[in-house]
């Protein structure tokens, strides 16, 4: 059930109606049932995977909670008789015991994800190796269908379990409530990845109907649909044409494709997130922010703080910090200082885990070499950025370059956008060698004339569609700039006079109807991140 389909709108309407008509005490039960109906409609065969994750993480969470409660009581009783070293040993022993519960649960759940998502990739590469060395064996390749939202719900539930392991909060002891937490229908498809201490309470409490909130929710859904149907799907035509025929469309066309793909991906993913957030808002639930105008970022680290925020935060809290603060990397840092000096040595516990995180973010996107290359590309940019930060600052001081001005900010934004667009070529091209071919073609056959001599009309869109794409992208840019300067667009709009408000609403509705659909037989394409 695509977010932009009529079925989804009808489903949300029925879900909201039944939710608000249910007696307050049982509203969470209705929400739980609605989620499971949604997931069941997406494919009954997927259910087993969701149930497996729900049950194993739930049981592990309860077990960890019980262990922590008992340990606290035992420790409080024995504390007076223990010296500092004994207390430390006690803590260490208890951590080991907890890991005996945590690790199997993580292995099981990441194991499901790994088998479904990466088995064929590993198998195909192993087969290529076996063939190369003329070994007459073959790894069987199966065609697995990825359960809906498996990456998202696995990450969400694993995050919960690690927090319980860290004793950040008590585990959820009601299985149905826990199942509700990892299956909330607007966000299970493509995020944002929720955190238990922020999301769960909102799902369990009886939210009441609020006209204002429902209105804002619907407005956000419209905005998301506009980004997806008017901008992203239209941009996708150009992107598909150029990336589909890299031999025909080389040179400047590659740069066009890279930038238009940036627009498409943002419209597609953030549009989907807006629809999810709006739908949740209708039900009285505020999802976490997943985007903060990423293309206005001034550096690559800044871009990653603004793009897919909940995934970045997940990797920061559950991979980056545990790695960089581990005894191993602390030792690496100390040794590094002796070998490479203070500056580099201090950076090592940050740089190596950062690289590992980007490798993982790369393969999170898919089981293909190009995603691994994408991870390395971003990891390298970030590492270089850190290494050259201080020398560059000194250089700028030497040449008296002003950094507190608009032109410098503009330069930073454009530089970041170009680097991001280059990264997008890696993920969108059919493979790593194809992206290298395209970048080479862009640099060696530059011909700016295609931008004005009708060259853009060969890419599948007519003049009218190109204007619609340009205009709607400018609307998106304007709204982004307004938000960047602290203007809350929906709130500001709601304070305007009735006539002005309705002119804007009707313009939005008609633009969606007129420009959101291509002809009678056109179907909105799937959301790109739904596949991850």
| Interacting residue ranges for other proteins, rule: CB under 8 A | 87, 91, 166-168, 301, 305, 316-318, 320-322, 324-325, 330, 333, 346, 349-350, 354, 386
70 versus 334: smaller Cβ distance to other proteins = 334
385 versus 430: smaller Cβ distance to other proteins = 385
Closest CA to 268 of 59, 476, 46: 476
Query: How far is it between the farthest Cα atoms of the chain?
Result: 85
413 versus 524: smaller Cβ distance to other proteins = 413
301 versus 455: smaller Cβ distance to other proteins = 301
Least distance to other proteins from the beta carbon of 87, Å? 7
The Cα–Cα gap between 352 and 354 comes to: 5
Closest CA to 511 of 449, 467, 463: 467
66: Cβ contacts below 8 Å, ≥ 6 apart: none
With contact defined as beta carbons under 8 Å apart, do 501 and 493 qualify?
yes
427: Cβ contacts below 8 Å, ≥ 6 apart: 365, 370, 371, 374
Give the gyration radius of the chain's Cα atoms: 26
Least distance to other proteins from the beta carbon of 68, Å? 12
Least distance to other proteins from the beta carbon of 107, Å? 19
341: left (phi over 0), alpha (psi -120 to 50) or beta: left
Dump strand ranges (E) for 308-440: none
Tokens coding 406: 């608009």
Tokens coding 30: 């209705």
Tally: H helices and E strands in the chain:
23, 0
279: Cβ contacts below 8 Å, ≥ 6 apart: 3, 12, 185, 186, 217, 221
Least distance to other proteins from the beta carbon of 39, Å? 32
195 versus 424: smaller Cβ distance to other proteins = 195
Tokens coding 174: 């009601």
Least distance to other proteins from the beta carbon of 370, Å? 27
401 versus 451: smaller Cβ distance to other proteins = 401
For the stretch 318-322, contacts whose Cβ atoms lie closer than 8 Å and that sit 24 or more positions apart, written own/partner, are 318/158, 318/159, 318/162, 319/353, 319/356, 319/357, 319/360, 320/353, 320/354, 320/357
27 versus 195: smaller Cβ distance to other proteins = 195
1 versus 383: smaller Cβ distance to other proteins = 383
354 versus 480: smaller Cβ distance to other proteins = 354
113: Cβ contacts below 8 Å, ≥ 6 apart: 150, 151, 154
The Cα–Cα gap between 233 and 268 comes to: 8
Least distance to other proteins from the beta carbon of 166, Å? 4
240 versus 292: smaller Cβ distance to other proteins = 292
The Cα–Cα gap between 369 and 379 comes to: 15
């Amino acid at each position: 059930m695509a977010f932009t389909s009529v079925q989804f709108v009808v489903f949300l309407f029925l879900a909201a109606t039944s939710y608000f008509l249910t007696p307050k005490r049982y509203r969470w039960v209705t929400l739980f049932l609605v989620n499971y109906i949604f997931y069941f409609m997406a494919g009954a065969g997927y259910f087993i995977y969701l149930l497996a994750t729900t049950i194993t993480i739930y049981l592990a969470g309860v077990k960890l909670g019980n262990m922590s409660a008992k340990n606290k009581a035992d420790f409080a009783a024995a504390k007076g008789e223990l010296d500092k070293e004994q207390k430390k040993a006690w803590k260490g022993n208890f951590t080991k015991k907890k890991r005996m519960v945590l690790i199997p649960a993580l292995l099981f759940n990441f194991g499901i994800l790994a088998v479904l998502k990466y088995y064929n990739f590993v198998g195909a590469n192993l087969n290529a190796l076996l063939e190369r060395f003329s070994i007459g064996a073959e790894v069987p390749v199966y065609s697995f269908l990825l359960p809906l939202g498996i990456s998202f719900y696995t990450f969400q539930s694993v995050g919960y379990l690690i927090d319980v392991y860290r004793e950040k909060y008590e585990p959820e002891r009601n299985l149905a409530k826990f199942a509700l937490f990892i299956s909330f229908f607007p966000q299970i498809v493509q995020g944002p990845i929720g955190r238990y201490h922020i999301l769960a309470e909102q799902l369990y409490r009886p939210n009441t109907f609020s006209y204002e909130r429902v209105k804002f929710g619907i407005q956000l859904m419209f905005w998301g649909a506009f980004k997806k149907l008017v901008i992203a799907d239209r941009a996708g035509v150009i992107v598909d044409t150029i990336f589909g025929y890299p031999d025909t469309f080389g040179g400047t066309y590659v740069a066009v494709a890279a930038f238009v793909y940036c627009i498409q991906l943002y419209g597609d993913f953030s549009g989907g997130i807006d629809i999810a957030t709006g739908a949740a808002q209708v039900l009285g639930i505020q999802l976490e922010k997943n985007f903060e105008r990423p293309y206005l970022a001034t550096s690559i680290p800044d871009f990653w703080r603004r793009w897919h925020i909940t995934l970045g935060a997940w990797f920061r809290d559950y991979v980056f910090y545990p790695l960089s603060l581990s005894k191993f990397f602390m030792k690496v840092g100390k040794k590094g200082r002796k070998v490479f000096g203070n500056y580099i040595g201090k950076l090592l516990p940050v740089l190596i885990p950062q690289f590992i995180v980007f490798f993982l973010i790369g393969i999170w996107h898919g089981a293909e070499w190009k995603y691994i290359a994408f991870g390395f590309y971003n990891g390298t940019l970030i590492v270089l950025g850190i290494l050259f930060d201080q020398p560059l600052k000194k250089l700028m001081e030497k040449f008296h370059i002003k950094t507190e001005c608009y032109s410098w900010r503009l330069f930073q934004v454009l530089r970041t956008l170009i680097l991001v667009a280059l990264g997008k070529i890696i993920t969108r091209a059919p493979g790593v060698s194809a992206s290298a071919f395209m970048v080479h073609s862009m640099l060696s056959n530059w011909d700016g004339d295609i931008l004005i001599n009708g060259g853009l009309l060969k890419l599948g869109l007519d003049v009218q569609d190109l204007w619609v794409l340009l205009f709607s992208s400018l609307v998106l840019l304007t709204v982004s700039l307004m938000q960047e300067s602290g203007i809350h667009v929906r709130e500001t709009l709601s304070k305007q006079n009735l006539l002005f408000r309705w002119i804007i609403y009707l313009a939005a509705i008609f633009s969606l109807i007129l420009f959101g659909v291509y002809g009678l037989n056109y179907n909105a394409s799937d959301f790109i991140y739904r596949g991850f």
